[in-house]
Amino acid sequence: MSQNINQFWEENGYYHAQGVFDASELAKMEDDFDRIVSQLSNSGENINARWRGEEMSRLDGGNSVIFHTHQVQTFSATWLQAIQHEGFLDTVEALIGPDIILHHTKLFQKPAENGSPFPMHQDYTYFPSVQNSMMAGVIFVSDATDEMGCLRVYPGSHKLGRVQRGEYLQEGLREEYPIENATILEVKAGDVVFFNYLTLHGSMPNHSSQVRKTVLVQMHSGDDEMEQPHHHTYSALVLRGWNSAATRSKAALAG
C-alpha cells in the first residue's frame, strides 16, 4: 500500500488521504481550532493574511478575508497530538521516509461568502530545503467543496523545479497554468491533502455559506536541511525518526 502511495506521489506531487482523523478526534480538533480563532480575534492583532497583487484582485474583486496564525501547537495540546497522529505520520513516512521533521504549522480559516483565494504558486521561496523534500499536509477540519474555495493543484508540476519568484509565478507561467484549469480537490472533514512544496497549487474564494477550516503542517525529511540564510519560523521538532542535520547551534535556534 505504501509503495502505491509513494508511486502516485512521485508522479503527481500530491496525495489525497481520506478519513485520516475520525469524528471523535475531529470534534476536539475543531473545538480548539475555533478557540484559537476566537483568541486571535480578541487579540487586537491583524490576523487577515490576504495576499496583495493584480491576480488577487482579479480573483476576489479586491476585498476578501482569511484568518491565519502560525504554530497551532503553541496554542493547543490537542493540535500537538494531531500532528503526531499515527495515521497522519504513516502517510508522511510513505511519501518522504521514516525521518520526519516539523518545519511549522499554519491555521487558515476562510470565512463564509468572502473567504480569500490564493493564486497559483509554489511554497519553496519561503523555506527552501537543500533536497526539496519539503512538503505540506493540509488537515481539513471542515469539508471543502469547490464553492468553498478548496485546494487546486497541477498534477506533476513539481517536476518543473523552482519556477517561482517572490509570491507569484514567473511571467508566462501564470498564463500557462491558470488556476481555473487546475485539478479541483474536494475533500471531507478528516481528510488530509499532501503536496510537495514545488507543486503548483492555489484556491479560489469561498463564496459558500459555510466556513472552510484547515491546518497546514509543513515537514521535511530528516536527511534534508534548510538552505541558509533561513529566516522563516522553524520548529525543527522530530515527529518521527531522527534529524541528521541537527547540531548544538541549530537546536538553540529552533522554536
Query: pLDDT (tens digit, 9 = 90+) per residue, 147-206?
Result: 999 999 999 999 999 998 766 676 667 889 999 999 999 999 999 999 999 999 999 999
Share of the chain above pLDDT 70, in %: 98
Per-residue pLDDT at 51 exceeds 90: yes
- Cα dist from 137 to 34, 107, 189, whole Å: 20, 12, 14
Contact 237, 101 (CB under 8 A): yes
Comparing CA positions, the residue from 246, 227, 244 lying closest to residue 235 is: 246
Share of the chain above pLDDT 90, in %: 90
Per-residue pLDDT at 245 exceeds 80: yes
Average pLDDT, the chain: 95
pLDDT at position 193 is 99
Per-residue pLDDT at 135 exceeds 70: yes
Per-residue pLDDT at 64 exceeds 90: yes
pLDDT at position 111 is 98
pLDDT at position 255 is 73
Contacts of 130 by beta carbon, 8 Å cutoff, 6+ apart: 224, 225, 226, 227
pLDDT at position 52 is 93
The string of DSSP letters for 43-55 reads: TTS--B----SHH
pLDDT at position 254 is 84
pLDDT at position 117 is 98
pTM of the model: 0.97
CA dihedral sign, ordered 174, 177, 178, 183: negative
Domain 2-253 grouped into CATH 2.60.120.620: yes
- 8 DSSP 8-state letter: H
**Per-residue model confidence as pLDDT tens digits over 89-119:** 999 999 999 999 999 999 999 999 999 999 9
**Per-residue model confidence as pLDDT tens digits over 202-221:** 999 999 999 999 999 999 99
Phi/psi-derived region of residue 228, left when phi > 0, alpha when psi is between -120 and 50, beta in every other case: beta
- Report the range of poorest mean pLDDT among 44-48, 144-148, 154-158, 250-254: 250-254
Angle at 205 between CA 5 and CA 20, to 5 degrees: 30
Contacts of 14 by beta carbon, 8 Å cutoff, 6+ apart: 153, 155, 185, 193, 194, 195, 196, 199, 201
pLDDT at position 1 is 73
Per-residue pLDDT at 80 exceeds 90: yes
pLDDT at position 168 is 65
When pLDDT is averaged across residues 3-23 and rounded to a whole number, the result is 97
Q: How far apart are CA 237 and CA 49, in angstroms?
A: 25
